[in-house]
Amino acid sequence: DGGITQSPKYLFRKEGQNVTLSCEQNLNHDAMYWYRQDPGQGLRLIYYSQIVNDFQKGDIAEGYSVSREKKESFPLTVTSAQKNPTAFYLCAAGLGETQYFGPGTRLLVL
Amino acid sequence: GESVGLHLPTLSVQEGDNSIINCAYSNSASDYFIWYKQESGKGPQFIIDIRSNMDKRQGQRVTVLLNKTVKHLSLQIAATQPGDSAVYFCAEGYGNKLVFGAGTILRVKS
């Protein structure tokens, strides 16, 4: 996991509720990424940021939002518009092409 | 535990044998490839990478082979150990984005 931390490890969301997943890195990498992992599927890119105060949508951005106010931090908000949020969420930080992952947050819906 | 391994191909090997895990990639323009190892409930861990101008790269107990003609990547693990049991997946990269395969489960029998 290196210098990437994600919290919480487990998160429960009620219907209609927004929840925010934390991702912090001390690797001094410029780029950060959020992925969603579902059983039997490859990781799918939600959002990524290559520099502070800038971010781009990935392949499945609908129902999610991010911010990048600091180099070290890239929080992900799962909004009520995301109708199927149950998944394992992975944050990564990258230097060049290589990406290093955090330990993940498992989001469950009550 | 983590259900990331559902419906994935499985490779079972005897402890001490060599393992070969295969991956087909889709984009002939990809110029960078990574193998990751993911244990149950954890984030993916970087194993080894290779650029498209190479066809082989060796690490500690692992070797990655790249065949660009047929867009095929393989990971060879020498003297497989019980601690190698995990899901292994490849990623192909172009620019600063990676596209991930679904993965292969490696089970090591003692």
Mark which residues 13-72 of A lie under 8 Å from B by CB. 31, 35, 37, 39-43, 45, 48, 50
A81 min Cα distance to partner chain B (Å):
24
Task: Please write the tens of the pLDDT for every residue from A1-39.
Answer: 459 999 999 999 998 899 999 999 999 999 999 999 998
Confidence tier at B1 by pLDDT (50, 70, 90): very low
Query: Rounded to an integer, what is the distance from CA B65 to the centroid of its chain?
Result: 10
Q: Residue B44: closest CA among chain A residues belongs to which residue?
A: A101
CB proximity A97 to B under 8 Å: yes
Which chain A residue is nearest to residue B6, measuring alpha carbons?
A: A40
Contact flag A100-B46 (C-beta cutoff 8 Å): yes
Strand B10-14, strand B104-109: pairing:
parallel
Q: Identify the band that residue B6 occupies on the pLDDT scale cut at 50, 70 and 90.
A: low
CA distance B79 to chain A (A): 25
Is B98–A103 a contact, with Cβ atoms under 8 angstroms apart? Answer: no
Task: Count interface pairs A-B at CB distance under 8 A.
Answer: 62
Question: Which residues of B touch chain A, with CB atoms under 8 Å apart?
Answer: 2-8, 32, 34, 36, 41-46, 49, 89, 93, 96-103
**Rounded CA separation B54/B35 (Å):** 15
Which pLDDT tens digit goes with each residue over A35-92?
999 988 889 999 999 999 999 999 999 999 999 999 999 999 999 999 899 999 999 9
Span B41-92, pLDDT tens digits: 999 999 999 999 999 999 999 999 999 999 999 999 999 999 999 999 999 9
Q: What strands lie across the sheet with B19-24, from one edge to the other?
A: B19-24, B72-77, B62-67, B56-58
B102 and A40 within 8 Å at the Cβ level: the answer is yes
Distance from CA of A8 to the nearest CA of B (A): 13
User: Is the model's pLDDT at B7 over the cut of 80?
Assistant: no
Residues 6+ apart with CB under 8 A from A107: A11, A12, A13, A19, A21, A78, A85, A86, A87, A88, A89
The whole-angstrom distance between B65's CA and the closest CA on chain A is 18
Confidence of residue B94 (pLDDT cuts 50, 70, 90): confident
